[in-house]
Amino acid sequence: MSESKTPHARPNEPRFPDGPKPDPAGSHFERRIRSFQPRRSRVTTSQADALQRLWPQWGLDIDGQRVLDLAALFPGLDRIVLEIGFGMGEATAQMAAEDPHTGILAVDVHTPGQGNLLGLAERGGMTNVRVANGDAIILLREMLPENSLDGLRVYFPDPWPKARHHKRRLLQPEFLDLVAGPLKPGALVHCATDWEEYAEQMLDVLTAHPAYENTQPDGGWAPRPEFRPLTRFEGQGLDKGHVVHDLLFRRR
């Protein structure tokens, strides 16, 4: 049985009075190339319900206006990782359940996925996930303290396959500059992609950046770690015969 859908909202009209705000930091109006395309998305009734009920407790808008107190955001947890682009959040929820002592700050712009992840966390009794709404670049640039993160996860970022769109890819030297500040020395940077040529780009930019070192003695891709579950986009890539590459680097 398919779930009923809420109607589309008008642009800039908050759909959930107590939920995530559309474009909270005004990122769409910044003159900057973004790694995502603003899209209107349908939200199911159960996702809408989760957004309305759980956002005040577990959600945060990336407004670019304050530096976050991660200890207050994740009481009792002293290991915090940032996941950028969790999609529908199934893999995030599974990792949160399997590692309850690690707090996951999960960021995406995709409203249905935010509702989905909140619902999964509630149903699974996970209290170690916070869902951030907005552009991860603004979160990194304005809101995360130096030396505050124990890890970064970027699983199957949008591949932007056309050459003229490569500049939209998240994994660029400037992104690695930005993320180097909040990452603690020794923090693990874990990326995965099913786009061969993006995997090569990731390996090149991470290897060339002085703030990171490859955990693999041969300087190449890492075997897929057992702790990373199959993600939704990964499954779609595998169905098309794509090969998946994991990259595991450390902040120096």
Ligand X SMILES: C[S@@+](CC[C@H](N)C(=O)[O-])C[C@H]1O[C@@H](n2cnc3c(N)ncnc32)[C@H](O)[C@@H]1O
Binding footprint of ligand X on the chain (CB under 6 A): 35-36, 84-87, 107-110, 113, 135-137, 155-158, 170, 231-234
- Dist CA 154 CA 142 (whole Å): 19
Least Cβ distance, residue 11 to ligand X (angstroms):
17
Least Cβ distance, residue 216 to ligand X (angstroms):
22
Could you tell me whether strands 245-251 and 183-193 are parallel, antiparallel, or unpaired per DSSP bridges?
antiparallel
Least Cβ distance, residue 48 to ligand X (angstroms):
18
Structure token pair of residue 114: 């935010």
Select the residue whose beta carbon is closest to ligand X and give its number: 85
Q: What is the 3-state secondary structure (H, E, C) of 59-72?
A: EEECCCCCCCCHHH
Structure token pair of residue 164: 């003229």
Least Cβ distance, residue 219 to ligand X (angstroms):
25
Strand-pair partners of 248: 190
150 is catalytic: no
Which CB atom, from 28 or from 53, has the smaller least distance to ligand X? 28
- Dist CA 190 CA 152 (whole Å): 6
For residue 32, give the amino acid letter.
R
**DSSP alpha helix (H) spans, 84-195:** 90-98, 111-124, 136-138, 173-180
Could you tell me whether strands 212-214 and 245-251 are parallel, antiparallel, or unpaired per DSSP bridges?
antiparallel
Which listed residue (61, 99, 150, 158) is catalytic?
Answer: 158
Which CB atom, from 23 or from 234, has the smaller least distance to ligand X? 234
Which CB atom, from 158 or from 246, has the smaller least distance to ligand X? 158
Which CB atom, from 38 or from 186, has the smaller least distance to ligand X? 38
Active site residues: 158
